[in-house]
Chain A
Amino acid sequence: MNTATDPQVPPPALDLDEVSVAYGPAVALENIDGMVAPGEAVALIGPNGAGKSTLIKAILGLVPLAGGRITVLGRPPAAARRDVAYVPQADTLDPEFPISVGQVVLMGRYRRIGWLRRAKATDKEAARRALEQVGLADRARHRFGTLSGGQRQRVLLARAIAAEPRLLLLDEPFNGVDAVSEQALLDAIARLKQDGAAVVVSTHDLTLAHLACEEVCLLNRRQYGFGPTNATLTPHRLRATYGGHALELRGDRVIVAHS
């Protein structure tokens, strides 16, 4: 990439160059190729087990590549983690865990705070503002598990915002999320993009892909398309991605995959 060496032009937030990942002999991803610019969002779309989570892990540098190269903000993934934030699915976390909403959001600052030092006023302020951006400023003292699924997802997004990322990775953030929380998530993501952050979001929901993302990456082990949302999300390509007729396209363009 000559843009990576040119100081005048910022490097792409994410550059996937023929990326392949294998778990032992099983190939999880093959030849994924694409680029995400700062301020842009890409939706990873594909059936369960398509490798969406694996690709997110690879971007985080948590799984070794069998081939190709991933460049995050002009650096190898492991060297870019400080500028990358990851939002897990809220329902994978124990709602019984004794922790408050404010404490969860402050986790986004831990890498900045370090091991021995206490959280500074700037850290607490950043956490407060992040919670405000997802519309839950009044819930800081509530226990995390007492919130609804959608609200918990917003808290996890706030944690990521508090880390001030330049690349944000979200794993199925809209699963089981009510309309109010969905809108709050979309608003917060839009604001992050305005501030120049790039976003990668895995989702089943084509409507949300249209709403939040300029680009989509159709994925099922290999890549079935990577490009502008409207041009790439064609019925033909979706059927190829999801395997023949295992798919219904409704008027609202939501994927219904049969197994």
Chain B
Amino acid sequence: MTAVDRAILEAVLLGTVGGLISVQILLRRLPFFTLAMTHATFPGVVLAAIAGVDLYAGGGLFGVLVVLGVLALSRRPGQGTTTAIGIVLSAGFALGVVLLSARDGFSKDLTAYTVGQILTVGTGDLTAVAVVGVIVLALLSVAGRQLTFRAFDPGGYAAAGYRPTAIDMALLLTVEAVIIVAVPAVGAILAVAVLVAPAAIARLWTHDVTAMTAIAVASGIGSGLAGVLISTRYDVATGGAITVVTGTLFALSLAATTTWTAVTGSRRGRRPAADRSAPATTGPSHLEEVG
């Protein structure tokens, strides 16, 4: 298998896994939280590289600590989740930069951890994405309904007798696992594109979670393949190319669906005028209601 073959396989696997989990991230209003987790995972990856331990183990362990840290911070009165996430995001990334710069001859590898290099992924990386993919599929097939219930009606979920903390931890740890396996290909900074954008694109086209998931997976795979293609043909950074394609896809979808709604005056996707002040999917995350 050549490097390009592996890159293509990685793009397909990561597009699938990212597309699947992105829908859950969007439904729970966790895009900003995911952005913070990707940045905060970065120092863990660097530490693992310095200590010479497995990159996945190091980054994963650190990421779990970050998840717990944010959850603990956001529970303190007077400290909103957004504040806690903002601090964790910048501090985590800064720690990674400091650690990297403290090592002589290490700084040139900075880009490998921040924006990734999909053309250098090995079979170990591919296996890791596949394993996490199985975990994501397992989570969705066992608890897909419950995840939607929890996202739609956090209070009602607890009232129905479910344990919110259990399903929240399962989701957040799975998100962290996807981040870790995305780092070698697209880097800690650009991983958020793989984990958030596909669902955001899909949400523009449909109001149904199942259809959303299908479109998100297609967008994820499509962006990945197009990115690898552009990258090898024009010799530009692959992580960047994938992310630019994803961004373009979102912009085009937004333009297309907005135009469509304006032209047809379709009421299908519109909400009643009285609800226009209601919170949209960009509102505060539901983390306040964890546990």
Contacts and interface: CB of A to CB of B under 8 A. Distances in A.
A96 B278 contact: yes
A51 to B, nearest CB: 17
Contact of A98 (B158, B203, B272): B203
B159 A94 contact: no
Given A110-B149, A146-B272, A96 B281 contact: yes
Given A98-B212, A99-B152, A104-B152, A143 B207 contact: yes
Interface string B261-291: 0000001001110110011110100000000
A62 B141 contact: no
Given A86-B156, A88-B153, A146-B270, A98 B146 contact: no
A99 B148 contact: yes
Given A98-B212, A146-B272, A86 B280 contact: no
Contacts of A62: 158-159
Interface string A103-141: 110010011010110000000000000000000000000
B155 A88 contact: yes
Contact of B207 (A88, A98, A104): A98
A86 B146 contact: no
A50 interface: no
A148 B275 CA distance: 9
Q: Is the interface of B mostly helix, strand, loop or mixed?
A: helix
Interface in B14-49: 27
Contacts of A94: 152, 278-281, 283
B161 A82 contact: yes
Interface in A2-61: 60
B141 A98 contact: no
A113 B161 CA distance: 14
A166 interface: no
Contacts of B203: 98
Contacts of B283: 94
Contacts of A113: 145
B253 interface: no
B160 interface: yes
Nearest to B208: A98
A94 B289 CA distance: 15
B209 interface: yes
A96 B155 contact: no
B280 A96 contact: yes
A232 interface: no
Interface of A: 60, 62, 78, 81-82, 86, 88, 91-100, 103-104, 107, 110-111, 113, 115-116, 143, 145-149, 163, 169
19 contacts: A62-B159, A94-B283, A96-B271, A96-B279, A96-B280, A97-B27, A97-B152, A99-B152, A99-B207, A107-B145, A107-B156, A111-B160, A115-B143, A116-B142, A143-B207, A145-B275, A146-B271, A163-B160, A169-B159
Interface of B: 27, 141-143, 145-146, 148-149, 151-153, 155-156, 158-161, 203, 206-209, 212, 267, 270-272, 274-275, 278-281, 283
